[in-house]
């Protein structure tokens, strides 16, 4: 099976948009699902949420940040070359229905998968607020696409270099005070999603979080992506990635992610050598 890179775009420092030829993946792909990639024969398998699809052309769009060894190797693939493995679509799609007023809140890399989710909710007849946040303006991308996919787009930056200064949770809080919000979905760093869950807890607003713990096989067999939801063990790759944010044990997930800190440190060392061409 060929997974040829059709287009490559640098969105912001270290962050890439890839369009890949993958008709068997896009055929049944839906908002909220993900793929697992492998760049080289002995390389690790890593998940990336589906950012966009063109079912007619069989083209898959992914967005990723080149931060580790494998994503740096991925960033070095050029147009016309092939990616070794692209497996998917995996996971359960986001449950989309007409709730009324929906808020999609994304932090950093979460903006890419949130685009397809927001678009699906808007197409279902919802009023959709999109909140996209990042540390600084250089990390904000896809503004035009986000505007088309939502009823209204809010940009936040930690340093105030673009849009509203501060965090997306403050925008969500303001919206909750002004009108009735029926559904919230958060995609991004664990601390941000945890903060969203705490903000809507006890309000009656249905709130979900797209979980992205460490994954290996993507089929539920390895157990690496297990988490506790409502006191029960779930696997993000097959039961999720979307879960009731008020039922997730975020502290457990955050603590488990620290287990591989030493391995990550070694990977970063190899990554630095790779970037230097050594």
What digits encode the pLDDT tens for the residues 131-170?
999 999 999 999 999 999 999 999 999 999 999 999 999 9
What would the CATH number be for the domain defined by 101-257? Answer: 3.40.50.80
Pair of tokens at residue 269: 């060392």
Q: Is the pLDDT of residue 54 over 80?
A: yes
Min mean pLDDT across 98-102, 116-120, 207-211, 257-261 is at: 257-261
**Does the pTM of the predicted model rise above 0.85?**
yes
For 237-260, the pLDDT digits (tens) are 899 999 999 999 999 998 887 766
Angle at 245 between CA 258 and CA 53, to 5 degrees: 85
Q: Which CATH superfamily is domain 5-90 in?
A: Translation factors (2.40.30.10)
Whether 75 contacts 69, CB under 8 Å: no
Q: Is the pLDDT of residue 277 over 80?
A: no
Q: Report how far residue 46's alpha carbon sits from residue 37's, in angstroms, rounded to the nearest whole number.
A: 6
Please give the helix or strand (H or E) that residue 146 lies within, else none: helix 143-149
Pair of tokens at residue 28: 């049944």
Most confident of 108-112, 155-159, 222-226: 155-159
SS3 state of residue 109: helix
Whether 72 contacts 99, CB under 8 Å: no
Q: Report how far residue 125's alpha carbon sits from residue 100's, in angstroms, rounded to the nearest whole number.
A: 8
Residue (of 108, 110, 124, 94) closest to 207 by Cα position: 94
Q: Report how far residue 17's alpha carbon sits from residue 57's, in angstroms, rounded to the nearest whole number.
A: 17
* pLDDT at residue 110 in the model: 82
What average pLDDT is seen over the chain? 90
* pLDDT at residue 8 in the model: 97
What residue segments make up the domains of the chain, in order of their start?
5-90, 101-257
What average pLDDT score do residues 51-76 get?
Answer: 93
Angle at 180 between CA 176 and CA 110, to 5 degrees: 55
Pairing of strands 101-107, 183-187: parallel
Pair of tokens at residue 142: 């896809």
Neighbours of 249 (CB within 10 A): 15
| Higher-pLDDT residue of 108, 182 | 182
Q: Is the pLDDT of residue 278 over 60?
A: no
């Amino acid at each position: 099976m060929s997974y040829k890179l059709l287009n490559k775009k640098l969105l912001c420092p270290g962050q890439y948009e890839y369009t890949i030829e993958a008709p068997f993946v896009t055929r049944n792909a839906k908002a909220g699902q993900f793929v697992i990639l492998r760049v080289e024969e002995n390389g690790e398998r890593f998940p990336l949420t589906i950012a966009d699809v063109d079912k007619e052309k069989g083209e898959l769009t992914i967005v990723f940040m080149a931060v580790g060894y494998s994503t740096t190797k991925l960033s070095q693939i050029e147009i016309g070359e092939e990616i070794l493995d692209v497996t998917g679509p995996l996971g359960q799609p986001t449950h989309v229905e007409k709730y009324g007023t929906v808020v999609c809140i994304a932090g950093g890399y979460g903006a890419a998968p949130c685009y397809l989710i927001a678009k699906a909710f808007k197409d279902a007849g919802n009023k959709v607020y999109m909140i996209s946040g990042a540390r600084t303006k250089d990390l904000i991308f896809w503004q035009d696409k986000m505007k088309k996919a939502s009823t209204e787009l809010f940009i936040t930056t930690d340093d105030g270099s673009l849009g509203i200064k501060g965090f997306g949770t403050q925008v969500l809080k303001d919206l909750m005070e002004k009108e009735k919000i029926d559904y919230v979905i958060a995609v991004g760093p664990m601390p941000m999603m945890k903060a969203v869950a705490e903000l809507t807890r006890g309000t009656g607003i249905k709130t979900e979080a797209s979980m992205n713990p460490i994954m290996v096989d993507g089929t539920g067999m390895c157990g690496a992506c297990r988490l506790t939801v409502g006191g029960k063990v779930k696997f993000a790759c097959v039961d999720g990635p979307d879960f009731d944010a008020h039922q997730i044990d975020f502290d457990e997930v955050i603590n488990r992610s620290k287990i591989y800190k030493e391995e990550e440190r070694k990977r970063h060392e190899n990554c630095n050598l790779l970037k230097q061409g050594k």
